[in-house]
Every structure is written in C-alpha cells, then in structure tokens.
Amino acid sequence: MNCRVVVEAAVPVYDVETPDEAVRIAISKTGEMLNPDLNYVEINMGQRSCPHCGEDQEPAFIAADESLVALELEMTVFNVEREEHAARIARKEIGQRLENIPLDVLEIEAIDEEGEEEAEDDTVEDSAESETTAEEITSEADAGRETDEEGEVLPEFEELIDE
C-alpha cells in the first residue's frame, strides 16, 4: 500500500516584520534543510484557524520581530503495511532533517494502486506494439533485397559501388 502523508511543522523565523515575509523565509529555510535528501517533499503554507470562533488566520504568528510559521509538508510513502506505519516513516524521515522543529501528522491518505497498475499495463502494451512495428519495418526493408542460397541478404548494387 502507498500513502500520501501530510505533516504540520512549526518553523521559527527571526527578524521579520510581516507574515508574508515570515512565510517566505520559513519555506526557504525548510527547503534548505530538506534538500537534497528529501527534495520530493512538497512544502506548503499551513492553515490556521481561531479555536474559539473558527475564523481563518495567517499561517505566521509574529511577536517582537520573531515568528512561528505553520507549514504543511507532504510526501508519499511507498510499500507500507498500514497508514500508521506510513505516518511513522514520514515523521522520522522529515524529523531527522528538521532538528528542533515540532511535527504533527495532519492527514494520511491511501493512494489507489489499481490506477497505477493500469497505467503500467498500457505502457507495456504500447512498447510491445512498437517492437512489432520495428520488426515489420525491418522485414519490409529486407523484402526488396535478394537472398543467396543460405538465406543471407545480398548487398544492393548501389552499396557495392559505394564501397
């Protein structure tokens, strides 16, 4: 089973004045920590809401020119037994590179493997058709040439003159 796992990270950023600046710096800082080992992890702004009124808030909280930015890190984990197993793998892989940054698993979604298998079957069929076509072309090209008694193709007259 393959799973898509979304993990929330709380990234601290220093010397910022606006929430937009804090988010840009947090994404850049996180990207530097994850690359090149985990360049397949997608980094997005997190979504925060007020716990009392449910109103949407900025993903960055700023106080005294320092900010705590909520980011969502998304990765696909392959060949796992259960969704919990996928969550542990994602937290471990991301957590090893993001030292001292708290992580929380937000979402785990099993990916449909049947669609992938159908796509692979189509690719195999297409390549088989291509091979057949190449063999037909080769046999058609050889059909215009004469063969000797042993079945070997004799060179064309023009090819002999060129040599």
Indicate the average pLDDT of the chain.
78
pLDDT tens digits, 76-132: 999 998 999 999 999 999 999 998 899 999 999 998 765 444 444 444 444 444 444
Which one, of 102, 111, 120, lies nearest residue 76 by Cα? 111
The domain ranges of the chain are 2-111, 114-162
For residue 153, pLDDT beyond 70: no
Cα–Cα dist 76/93, whole Å: 11
Task: Quick: pLDDT tens for 46-67.
Answer: 887 778 888 888 889 899 989 9
CA dist., res. 133 & res. 130, Å (int): 5
- Residues in contact with 58: Cβ distance below 8 Å, sequence separation at least 6, in sequence order: 19, 48
What amino acid is encoded at 57 in this protein?
Q
- Which CATH number is associated with domain 2-111? 3.30.70
Q: Which two tokens stand for residue 71?
A: 């980011």
Which residue carries 């004799």 as its tokens? 154
| C-alpha distance from residue 158 to each of 59, 141, 144, 152, 155 (Å) | 75, 15, 13, 18, 8
Sort residue 65 into left (φ over 0), alpha (ψ -120 to 50) or beta.
left
Q: HEC string of 1-68?
A: CEEEEEEEEEEEEECCCCHHHHHHHHHHHHHHHHCCCCCCCEEEECCEECCCCCCEECCEEEECCEEE
Question: Model-level pTM greater than 0.75?
Answer: no
Task: Mean pLDDT check: name the lowest of 37-46, 110-119, 131-140, 145-154.
Answer: 131-140
